[in-house]
Amino acid sequence: MMMLAFAALGLLLGLLSGGSLRGLARYPLAGLWLPLCALLVKSGAAWLLAPQTGAAVVCLIQYSLLFVFLFLNRRRPLWPLFVFAGSLCNLLVIVLNGGCMPVSASLLGGAGERLTQLAEGRIYAYCLMDETTRLPFLGDVIRIGPAGVPIGFASVGDVALCIGAAMLIFMMTRAKEAPVEEKTKNTI
């Protein structure tokens, strides 16, 4: 949800600054299918597997796909650095905590059922922070929504990923059409 909000912000800012929706198709983005597959891997595992089953392996596959996508687009300005930094932060905290993103109990406020689900390990690839949590500051420590009724949680890595996504969409809207000479070279 947060990622979509940041992407929409990048789109809006791009359009307001003279960009166009046509630019989205012109931007030279390599391997777009890789982050889509990463999302499918995580979503599929959460849907098909029992909570926490294979979570570390799923995490490694998911982030490997993202890192290959970033490698393919490494020459693009700025956004890959934010996405890489966010992905690396999330990967570290998840792998060091057995494949689960730790969530701070203080974020949940009055959300008792969610707190119970996390404490019992019933939410795939998420766990409740405790004294054994490694790198807790990289876990989900940011509440999205009001204290009593949070709509989600985020980590520092998620914020960096979202900033990178907003930058990517902004840059995509600003992509210009290739000069006629260059188009001719590419078709010969």
pLDDT of residue 121: 85
Q: How many CA atoms lie within 13 A of 55 on its CB side?
A: 23
Look at residue 128 and give its three-state secondary structure.
strand
| Count of the separate structural domains present in the chain | 1
Q: Is pLDDT of 79 > 70?
A: yes
- State pTM to two decimals: 0.87
The beta strand positions in 104-184, using DSSP E, are 126-128, 142-144, 152-154
Is 27:172 a contact under the CB 8 Å cutoff?
yes
86-90, 112-116, 167-171: least confident range: 112-116
pLDDT of residue 157: 97
Q: Is pLDDT of 83 > 60?
A: yes
Domain that holds residue 64: 2-187
pLDDT of residue 73: 97
The beta strand positions in the chain, using DSSP E, are 101-103, 126-128, 142-144, 152-154
- Express each pLDDT in 143-173 by its tens digit: 887 766 667 789 999 999 999 999 999 999 9
